Amino acid sequence: MARDQAEQAAYPLDVATRGRPGARAPMSSRERWGAVFEYLLAVYKNTWRGSVFGRFMSPLLFLLAMGVGLGSLVDERAGGVDGQSYLHFVVPAIVATQAMWLAMSESTYPVYGAIRWNMAYHAMLATPLGVRDVLLGQTAAIAFHLTMSTAIFLGVAALFGGFVSWWAVLCLPIGVLTGLAFVLPLIGITARAESEETFNLVFRIVMTPLMLFSGTFFPISQLPIFLQPIAWVTPLWHGVEACRAAALGRIEPLSFGLHIAALLLFCAVGWVWARRGMERRLVV
């Protein structure tokens, strides 16, 4: 009983009701998605070592192969791209592309697992949390990963002389936003996936072509004219173009604003679609 009283004194009354019989004080939205975020962070704490290699090594290898290896060839033969050295052309594109890949790996198997294998979302939905909180917390956790790995990659790329302008720091939020423009639609797909086969399909027919044809390694003006509009409707091209504008310190307000708006639109539509998919899968 003494401990009861001590506890009562330690917390404001409304919070203390959460663990007591009787009506409980409602949780704020931040408390709700924050609890989901906290869980996902605890899970990540156990597994981050295993994922570090893939996360940081693959963009680094791209940087070396494309920026330094291929770059010296391109610069020698063609004098760079649009008056830029190839390294400076390709580094911001790799920022956006690594965000896409991270979005892919974080929004498919882990989310699928939380729905099907360990039923972590079901556990959450048996508490005061709702689908919106689960989706928001999950998205926030992935945004956290995106922020960490984009920041580290930017640092490494800067050491290699990958940037010419301080505007390049904008690549961090743009990279995260590009990732989220994939995360939400991908969660929408994962929620509807009937098997893991779906992910292979997305990987092969969406991600890989996007990586190659979104103005990443060469400008889309090199593509046949009829293919160019396809780039316009993919988040990656907008992310690449916005990152590139920032990294080169050549931000044109109109086109830059349109790229950001396009990315935000993917997030917004993706959110609605993902949320509906999760409701349908989890609340039956």
Residues of this chain that interact with another protein (CB under 8 A) are 3, 7, 10-11, 15-16, 18-27, 31-32, 35-36, 38-39, 42-43, 46-47, 118-120, 122-130, 283-284
DSSP string computed for 63-89: IIIIIIIIHHHHHHHH-SBTTB-HHHH
Q: Decide whether 19 or 155 has the Cβ nearer to another protein.
A: 19
Minimum CB separation of residue 149 from another protein in Å reads: 21
Q: Taking a C-beta distance cutoff of 8 angstroms, is the pair 236, 100 a contact?
A: yes
Q: Which residue has the tokens 């391109």?
A: 74
Q: Decide whether 18 or 204 has the Cβ nearer to another protein.
A: 18
Minimum CB separation of residue 56 from another protein in Å reads: 22
Could you tell me which of 37, 263, 173 has the C-alpha nearest to residue 271? 263
> Please, what's the b/e burial string for 185-204 (b: 16 or more CB within 10 A of its CB; e: otherwise)?
bbbbbbbebeeeeebeebee
Q: Decide whether 42 or 225 has the Cβ nearer to another protein.
A: 42
Question: What does the alpha-carbon distance between residue 11 and residue 54 come to, in Å, rounded to a whole number?
Answer: 43
Q: Taking a C-beta distance cutoff of 8 angstroms, is the pair 101, 178 a contact?
A: no
Q: Decide whether 23 or 78 has the Cβ nearer to another protein.
A: 23
Minimum CB separation of residue 2 from another protein in Å reads: 13
DSSP string computed for 250-262: ---HHHHHHHHHH
Minimum CB separation of residue 205 from another protein in Å reads: 31
Q: Decide whether 134 or 171 has the Cβ nearer to another protein.
A: 134
Q: Taking a C-beta distance cutoff of 8 angstroms, is the pair 33, 137 a contact?
A: yes
Could you tell me which of 176, 166, 253, 263 has the C-alpha nearest to residue 214? 263
Minimum CB separation of residue 114 from another protein in Å reads: 9
Cβ neighbours of residue 144 under 8 Å, at least 6 residues apart? 37, 41
Q: Decide whether 93 or 191 has the Cβ nearer to another protein.
A: 191
Q: Decide whether 26 or 69 has the Cβ nearer to another protein.
A: 26
Minimum CB separation of residue 1 from another protein in Å reads: 14
Minimum CB separation of residue 193 from another protein in Å reads: 20
The token pair at 143 is 């945004």
Q: Decide whether 29 or 255 has the Cβ nearer to another protein.
A: 29
Minimum CB separation of residue 81 from another protein in Å reads: 45
Q: Taking a C-beta distance cutoff of 8 angstroms, is the pair 277, 187 a contact?
A: yes
